[in-house]
């Protein structure tokens, strides 16, 4: 079962369903927050030997914090519904999709975290020691409140325990579902921006951090690279039928087949090793021709959009009443075309990088790997300080440390999950070591007031 599912999920490609067995709402956030703060306050009172007033205890403290967190989450849920009317429903209406009705729960095909939370809450209530004791007839409101909060706290602790236990027992399923969720959201966000002509709202497509985000050398992970990393670790089943990631090591750059056509991602696949130089050069020149052809087509598209935008902007600037029905319609058209033009040039920029990198690899293959640029065009390596690069590497080093701490603290129960966690830890530790070495090298270069020679 899934509690309080978002009604728009699954109604449109821009709003995919959250994969099972993940929870779909924030209903369990208050139990986690309440349990954490309630136990902390209870333990603090015990250590300070400060008695709970009016028959209270640690469970009533947990219940009180859970109730407070529930009120805050309820406000956020109301706010989310308001934002949906602004950001979600207009797109559905414009494409003739009927707005689904809100449900309190929906049936799932497997046991989910919501089921675990409900079972845990029920067990917590059943195990509450005073459940069958009637309250004194002359009990004060505070005493009654504490007893009610105690029951609420028992349910909250039970739900929290079950939530963590379920995550540990089904670590692989939850991990795979999260990877799928990331891949779906990355694609859905691009669809949303293309259909609406504006930037996707942050609340709708939250940034999800995965261990693989720090498994690469970059700090900022572009969409293409993110999809490639997810593909390399999740397999074909994570993607719709029209998108198929190619095996790692099969091309100079990561490639995905989208609707039967190759889509080159702007990330180098360093596991690619051609059988021989002739085979490698053949593949590289084929890729270069495809990229040049795609770039020419995109440049024509961008030029057409530029002209159409200029024509409509001239009309809009002459519009006497920009807030009239015709003025608003023209403005929305301009917003859409401008977004399409910006996205087109973003794609052209990515292709420009791919073309330049492909030409570099061709030179490397021709020289059996023994090639470096003759002379920099824009910097003097003897005086240039790579301070911006140093800043990015420092940020990346901090992220790897955070991810190491996070993964190391995960509780796993099965042997397969333990092996998978060790593999992730090994990958990130290797990245952390390489990042540390690079950081020390760059710090030395900046300190010595120069980037050094290419060699």
Q: What is the share, in percent, of the chain residues with pLDDT greater than 90?
A: 15
DSSP 235: -
Which token pair is 140? 């004060």
**Nearest-5° angle of CA 383, CA 385, CA 388?**
155
Give the mean pLDDT of 152-180. 67
Q: Which residues contact 120 (CB under 8 A, 6 or more apart)?
A: 158, 159, 160, 161, 162, 163, 165
Average pLDDT over residues 50-66: 65
**Are residues 347 and 317 both part of a single domain?**
yes
The answer to whether the CB of 34 falls within 8 A of the CB of 153 is: yes
My answer on whether 348 and 284 are in the same domain is yes
Q: Which of 171, 198, 216 is the last residue of a domain?
A: 171
Q: Answer yes or no: do 290 and 354 share one domain.
A: yes
Check residue 107 and give left, alpha or beta (phi > 0: left; psi -120 to 50: alpha): beta
The residue with greater pLDDT, 12 or 288, is: 288
Same domain, 30 and 131: yes
Range 295-313 average pLDDT: 95
Is 132's pLDDT higher than 50?
Answer: no
Residue 405 covered by a domain: yes
**What distances in angstroms separate CA 339 from CA 2, 90, 231, 365, 450, one per listed residue?**
36, 17, 28, 39, 40
What is the rounded CA–CA span in Å between residue 362 and residue 354? 12
When computed from its CA atoms, the radius of gyration of the chain, rounded to whole angstroms, is: 28
3-state secondary structure of 392: helix
Q: Cα separation of 52 and 129, whole Å? A: 17
- Tokens 């129960």 sit on residue: 413
Give me the residues paired with residue 15 across strands.
12
Statement to judge: residues 364 and 391 lie in one domain: no
Closest among 211, 227, 208, 210 to 266, alpha carbons compared: 227
Three-state SS at 245: strand
Please check whether residues 328 and 405 belong to one and the same domain: no
**Which of residues 142, 171, 200 is at a domain's end?**
171
pLDDT band, very low/low/confident/very high, at 52 (cuts 50, 70, 90):
low
Residue 342 contacts residue 255 (beta carbons within 8 Å): no
pLDDT for residue 211 is more than 80: no
CB contact at 8 A, 122 and 158: yes
Residue 234 has pLDDT above 50, yes or no: no
**Biggest alpha carbon–alpha carbon distance for the chain:** 93
Q: pTM of the full predicted structure?
A: 0.52
In a domain, 379, yes or no: no
Q: Does residue 209 sit within a domain?
A: no
Specify burial of residue 124 (Cβ count, 10 A radius: 0-12, 13-18, 19+): buried
Please tell me whether residues 142 and 24 are part of one structural domain: yes
**Residues 403-426, mean pLDDT to the nearest whole number:** 66
- Asked whether residue 113 is assigned to any structural domain, the reply reads yes
The answer as to whether 400 is a domain residue is yes
- CA 399 to chain centroid, in Å, comes to 15
Contact 454, 372 (CB under 8 A): yes
Q: Is residue 21 part of a domain?
A: yes
Write down the pLDDT at residue 335: 87
Please check the confidence at residue 287 and state whether its pLDDT lies above 80.
Answer: yes
pLDDT tier, 224 (very low <50, low <70, confident <90, very high otherwise):
very low
Across 44-53, 269-278, 389-398, 430-439, least confident range: 44-53
Q: What is the mean pLDDT of residues 164-180?
A: 70
Q: d(Cα 113, Cα 164) in Å, to the nearest integer?
A: 9
Q: Which range scores top for mean pLDDT: 249-258, 295-304, 339-348?
A: 295-304
Query: Cα(52)–Cα(43) distance, rounded to whole angstroms?
Result: 11
> Residue 38: is its pLDDT beyond 90?
no
Q: Please state the domain count of the chain.
A: 3
Give the residue from 371, 399, 415 where a domain finishes.
371
CA distance linking residue 346 with residue 451, whole number of Å: 30
Domain that holds residue 149: 2-171
Q: Is the domain of 24 the same as that of 142? A: yes
Q: pLDDT higher for 228 or 129?
A: 129
39 part of a folded domain: yes
Does pLDDT of 208 surpass 60?
A: no
Backbone angles phi, psi at 2, to 5 degrees: -125, 125
Q: Tell me what pLDDT residue 232 has.
A: 40
Q: What whole-number distance in Å separates Cα of residue 40 and Cα of residue 352?
A: 55
Residue 117 confidence class, pLDDT cut points 50, 70, 90: low
User: 156: how many CB neighbours lie within 10 A of its CB?
Assistant: 31
Position 341 pLDDT exceeds 80: yes
Task: Give the range with max mean pLDDT: 149-153, 310-314, 336-340, 386-390.
Answer: 310-314
340/442 same-domain check:
no
| 243 beta partners | 258
Q: Is residue 208 part of a domain?
A: no
Structure tokens given for 307: 């002209």
Domain co-membership, 279 together with 134: no
d(CA 61, CA 28): 17
H/E stretch holding 2: strand 2-3
Do 83 and 123 lie in one domain? The reply is yes
Residue matched to tokens 């440390």: 401
CA atoms of 353 and 360, how far apart (whole Å): 11
The backbone torsions φ and ψ at residue 262, rounded to the nearest 5 degrees and listed phi first, read: -70, 135
Separation CA 38–CA 390 (nearest Å):
42
| Selection from 18-32, 189-203, 297-311 with the highest mean pLDDT | 297-311
Q: Are residues 326 and 412 in the same domain?
A: no
């Amino acid at each position: 079962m899934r509690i309080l599912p978002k009604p728009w999920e699954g109604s449109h490609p821009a709003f995919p369903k959250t994969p099972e067995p993940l929870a779909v709402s924030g209903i369990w956030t208050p139990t986690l927050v309440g349990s954490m703060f309630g136990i902390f306050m209870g333990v603090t009172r015990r250590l300070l030997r400060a008695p709970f007033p009016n028959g209270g205890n640690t469970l009533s403290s947990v219940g009180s914090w859970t109730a407070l967190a529930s009120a805050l989450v309820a406000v956020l849920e109301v706010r989310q519904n308001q934002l949906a009317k602004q950001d979600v429903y207009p797109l559905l209406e414009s494409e003739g999709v009927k707005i689904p009705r809100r449900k309190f729960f929906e049936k799932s095909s497997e046991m989910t975290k919501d089921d675990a939370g409900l079972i845990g809450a029920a067990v917590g209530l059943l195990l509450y020691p005073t459940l069958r004791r009637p309250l004194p007839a002359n009990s004060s409101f505070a005493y009654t409140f504490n007893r009610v909060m105690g029951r609420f706290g028992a349910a909250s602790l039970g739900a929290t325990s079950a939530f963590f236990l379920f995550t540990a027992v089904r670590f692989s399923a939850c991990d795979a579902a999260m990877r799928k969720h990331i891949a779906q959201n990355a694609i859905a966000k691009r669809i949303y921006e293309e259909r609406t002509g504006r930037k996707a709202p942050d609340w709708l497509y939250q940034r999800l951090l995965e261990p693989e985000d720090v498994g690469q050398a970059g700090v900022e992970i572009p969409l293409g690279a993110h999809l490639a990393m997810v593909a390399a670790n999740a397999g074909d089943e994570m993607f719709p039928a029209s998108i198929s990631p190619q095996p790692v090591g099969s091309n100079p750059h990561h490639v995905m087949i989208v609707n039967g056509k190759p889509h080159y991602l702007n990330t180098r696949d360093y596991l690619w090793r051609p059988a021989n130089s002739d085979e490698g050069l053949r593949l590289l020149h084929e890729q270069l021709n495809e990229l040049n052809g795609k770039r020419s087509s995109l440049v024509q598209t961008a030029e057409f959009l530029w002209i159409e935008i200029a024509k409509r902007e001239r009309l809009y600037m002459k519009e006497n009443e920009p807030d009239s029905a015709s003025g608003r319609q023209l403005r929305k058209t301009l917003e859409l075309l401008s977004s399409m033009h910006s996205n087109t040039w973003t794609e052209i920029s990515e292709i420009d990088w791919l073309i330049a990198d492909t030409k570099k690899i061709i030179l490397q293959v021709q020289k059996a790997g023994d090639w470096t640029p003759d002379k920099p065009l824009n910097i003097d390596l003897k005086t240039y300080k790579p301070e911006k690069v140093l800043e990015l590497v420092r940020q990346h080093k901090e992220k790897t440390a955070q991810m190491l701490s996070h993964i190391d603290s995960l509780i796993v129960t099965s042997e397969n999950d333990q092996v998978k966690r060790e593999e992730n830890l090994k990958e990130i530790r290797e990245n952390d070591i390489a990042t540390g070495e690079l950081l020390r090298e760059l710090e030395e270069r900046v300190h010595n007031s120069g980037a050094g020679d290419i060699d």
